[in-house]
Amino acid sequence: MKEKPLISIALTTYNGEKYLREFLNSITSQTYKNIEVIACDDQSTDKTIEILEEYSKKMNLKYFANKRRLGVIKNFEKTINLCSGSFIALADQDDIWVPDKIDTLYKEIIEDDSILCILSDAFVINENGKLILDSFIKYIGVDRNTDFKSFLFGSRFPGCTFMIKRNLVNYALPFPDDICCHDWWLNIVASKKGKVKFLNKPLIYYRIHGANTTGAIKASFMDLLNFYLQKGGKFMEDHQKILLATLERLKPDLTSEENEVIKDLVKFNQRKDKYISPYAFYIFIKYFRWFASGKSKFLKLMSMFSSLIGYKTVKKMTFFLK
């Protein structure tokens, strides 16, 4: 029987001692056995390195200690570049994988040569491992679209659910400077150069806790309002950087329609930095289907209203609410 290909697990760590053993135990329990774990630690000050050393004696795990802090994005870039497998699964230090995660994703990704990234849904758990919801997609209130245009309007899926093909690395890396989300960028590039496939099955337990690097915003009025008031400006900056990176890196692949969409979204973010923004509201209505896709009617109205109110107004509101 032909041996199945090597699959690399790209793991980045930083002060992860609390949950790291539980995560690594879930890797040793995988039904797919031809696995290597490549871990890069970003200068942890707890027992993370000791745990990696311990597990390197139990499984095919190699770890590297960064000599200087790289941050999440560049640390993932380094880790991915160190992987030697034909396929690479991205991993966070605080999640738990179901035993057939790698096996399931592998079987799906090899069905179609054009699939560059396969990803799944996830169970959502709290810091103590208690189930919050059986679907990450429902938790954050987004659609399951995986086309290039949809990804231009926002990030949908956490990288810890991804398995990617080796050739996506050649297209997507190095990550553009200052982008906020490596997983968002990978989805943008994969959906333009090939396909992204969503598997409607939870294959990991995604942990929500206070120390999350990115975390997830629950699709409720108060959670989204609080996020918009506190971090709306940062989100617009991050969105802008992703859009500009897309224009620069993928320009030869873009259609005239896609160019128009990206430029409209760039203007949308620019015009939002005012007190009132009728032009941003116009762009929102023009692309309503993509801005509001997957959201409840109430949240669609909230999104529409927020597109009219410029972020300077939001800053004033935040000041008076303190």
Which has the higher per-residue pLDDT, 252 or 234?
252
Using CA atoms, how far apart are residues 262 and 250, in angstroms rounded to an integer?
Answer: 12
> pLDDT tier at 143 (50, 70, 90 boundaries)?
confident
Domains of the chain: 7-207 (3.90.550.10), 221-321 (no CATH)
- Rounded Cα distance between 292 and 284, Å, is 9
Strand partners, 198: 119
How much is the pLDDT for 297?
A: 65
The larger pLDDT score, comparing residue 200 to residue 292, is at: 200
**What residue spans of 61-178 are helical by DSSP H?**
71-82, 101-109, 136-140, 148-152, 166-172
pLDDT exceeds cutoff 50 at 1: no
CB environment 20-33: b (16+ within 10 A), e (fewer): beebbebbeebebe
The mean per-residue pLDDT over the stretch 149-167 comes to 95
What is the band of 213 on the pLDDT scale with cuts at 50, 70, 90? very low
Which carries the bigger pLDDT value, residue 300 or residue 137? 137
Residue-level pLDDT at 244: 96
Six-digit token pair at 29? 């329990």
Least confident range of 102-111, 184-193, 286-295: 286-295
Give mean pLDDT, residues 203-217: 72
Nearest to 152, CA basis, from 80, 270, 257, 228: 257
Could you tell me which of 157, 232, 254, 249 has the C-alpha nearest to residue 197?
Answer: 157
Confidence of residue 293 (pLDDT cuts 50, 70, 90): confident
Query: Rounded CA gap, 16 and 119, in Å?
Result: 24
What is the average per-residue pLDDT within 225-230? 57
Looking at residue 277, its pLDDT comes to: 80
Mean pLDDT of 281-307: 76
Please determine, for residue 315, whether its predicted confidence score (pLDDT) is greater than 70: no
Tokens of 299: 């949240």
Judge contact between 194 and 115, C-beta under 8 A: yes
